[in-house]
Copies of this chain bind each other. A is one copy, B any other.
Amino acid sequence: MVTAAEQFLKAHDARLHDRVRISAGGRSHEGRVMPAHRFSGDHVVVLKLANGYNIGVSCEGAELELLERAPAAPEATAADAPLPSDLPPLTVLGTGGTIASYVDYQTGAVHPAKSAAEIVAAVKGLAEIASIRAEALLSLASEDMRPDDWSAIAKRVSELHAEGGAGVVIGHGTDTMAYTAAALAFQLPVLQAPVVLTGSQRSSDRPSSDAHLNLAGAARAALTDLGEVAIAMHSSSSDDGVAIWRGTRARKAHSSRRDAFTAPNGGRLGTAGDAVEFSTEYRPVADETQLEAGFDRDVALVWSHPALTAGDWEAATAGKRGVIVAGTGLGHVGSHLHAAVRATARDAVVAMTTQCLGGSTNLNVYRNGRELGEAGVIEAGDTLPETALVKLMWLLKHRPDSAAEGMGENLVGELGSRRFLD
């Protein structure tokens, strides 16, 4: 079957790897034409941008300008090869959570670990799009997921990628899914196949359960060329689609709604319906998955508030190697805390985030902020406090000598480049 995107390219005499500009509605994108991935929308052209990221661009009503032909005789890559006619492999890795605990909330019984396979079997249409293997790695309530579990998941993903190279969907409780997603993103900074977390806000035996839709959406996202750790969850309170979130940018922002996840500072990569539509740039898959597993756990997260005392600060941070502060506004704490913060920053990495969650820190606007900067407090910019905590834990383990500098660098999409002061 010839897709609308293929017809569009042919009509404009554009071929694979040609550099083109596609324009529509006042916006244009320049890049090299990439092979469509499975579940690209019918009308989506995938472009590799100059910065190495990919983007899906709709050809509906668009103009195409041919900028440069593909280099002569490009090497054939795996991505160029036609899709095999048999179904692509996909692993569903169970770790626990509501998606795997469909009687627990009534009886208190812990559900057996085979539930991942059961749920896969129950999801309509899943068996038609991929050759699915289900594996129960862990069976933990979301709130019981600890840093060692983050490492175990990353290692298993790395093994699975090495064995078969296929996408991995991770069933996970929603409470701490964003923490785990960030943890996987830092531990697996380069991916050869997608890693997509999903879960459910309603047990899968309830009519309103979101488990099936979420799992199907996650599976589709995991069959694309997305080289980032993502979260796939309901995009609205109705059943009309699944949003794909950048793992380092999402947070659970509602305790019970099915569309619980959001990203205050951007990070919605796209939507997985019958097709997967990427609405922003994303890092594509690479040749080989890289693993740097493990975390330093000597960290604290301090939420600043008007009743916080210097004694509270000292109790929370004593002996810690890293401290994430969720400060007010642009990254402030009361000036009565400055001496204590200064003392901590002499021996530990102290990084500032904003408890607003939306927007960025900026310690240069007000005097209190400048004093914190002079005391050695690092700005985490628009990184979410939760993600900043995971990032600092990872840096202290793997880049102990440059952890402070690392907090100011964008490693896997967790940090934006501007401070949002329009």
Q: Is the CB of A299 within 8 A of B307?
A: yes
Residue of B nearest to A261 (CB): B356
Judge whether A7 is part of the interface by a CB distance below 8 angstroms. no
Q: Does A285 touch B at the CB level, under 8 Å?
A: no
Count of identical protomers in the assembly: 2
How far apart are the CA atoms of A43 and B297 in the complex, in Å? Answer: 60
Q: Is A332 interfacial (CB 8 A cutoff)?
A: yes
Query: Which of B105, B146, B175, B255 meets A361, CB within 8 Å?
Result: B255
Q: How far is the CA of A421 from the CA of B255 in the complex (A)?
A: 9
Contact B393 A356 (CB under 8 A): no
Residue in B closest to A356 when the chains form the complex, CB atoms: B255
Contact B144 A335 (CB under 8 A): yes
A264 to B264, CA, bound (A): 13
Q: Is the CB of A329 within 8 A of B360?
A: no
Distance A333 CA – B175 CA, assembled complex (angstroms): 10
Determine whether the beta carbon of B328 is less than 8 Å from that of A176: yes
For the complex, is A152 an interface residue (Cβ under 8 Å from B)? no
A359 in contact with B254 (CB, 8 Å): yes
Whether A254 and B105, one on each chain, are in contact in the complex, defined by CB atoms closer than 8 angstroms, is no
| Identity of the chain B residue whose Cβ is nearest the Cβ of A370 in the assembled complex | B108
Known: A175-B329, A422-B256. A144 touches B315 (CB 8 A): no
| Residues of chain B lying within 8 A (CB to CB) of residue A179 | 305-306
Inter-subunit contact B358/A253 (CB<8 Å)? yes
A170 to B357 CA separation, bound complex (whole angstroms): 25
Interface of A is mostly: loop
Could you tell me if B257 and A143 are in contact, using CB atoms closer than 8 angstroms? no
Q: Which residues of chain A from 291 to 310 have any CB-CB distance to chain B below 8 Å in the complex?
A: 295, 297, 299-301, 303-309
Q: Give the chain B neighbours of A357 by CB distance below 8 A.
A: 253, 357
Q: Which of B147, B256, B420 contacts A360 (CB 8 A)?
A: B256
- Decide if B256 touches A334 in the complex (CB within 8 Å): no
Closest residue on chain B to residue A254 by CB atoms: B358
**What are the 8 closest A-B residue pairs judged by CB atoms, nearest first?**
A255-B359, A175-B329, A254-B358, A175-B328, A143-B332, A315-B315, A254-B359, A255-B354
A421 shortest CB reach to chain B, Å: 5
Complex Cα distance, B357 from A76, in Å, reads: 50
A174 within 8 A of B: yes
Residue A209 interfacial (CB < 8 Å): no
Would you give 21 A-B contacts (Cβ < 8 Å), ordered by A? A105-B365, A141-B367, A142-B332, A146-B334, A175-B328, A175-B330, A176-B305, A251-B356, A253-B358, A254-B359, A255-B329, A255-B331, A255-B354, A256-B421, A260-B356, A295-B307, A299-B307, A300-B312, A301-B308, A303-B385, A316-B316
Q: How far is the CA of A370 from the CA of B329 in the complex (A)?
A: 35
Residue A255 contacts which of B180, B316, B330 (CB distance < 8 angstroms)? B330
Which chain B positions have C-beta within 8 A of A255? Answer: 329-331, 354, 356, 358-362, 420
Is B312 a contact of A326 with CB atoms below 8 Å? no
- Tell me which residues from 134 to 163 in chain A have a Cβ below 8 Å from any Cβ of chain B: 141-147, 150
Q: Which of A253, A295, A327 has the most CB of B within 10 A?
A: A253
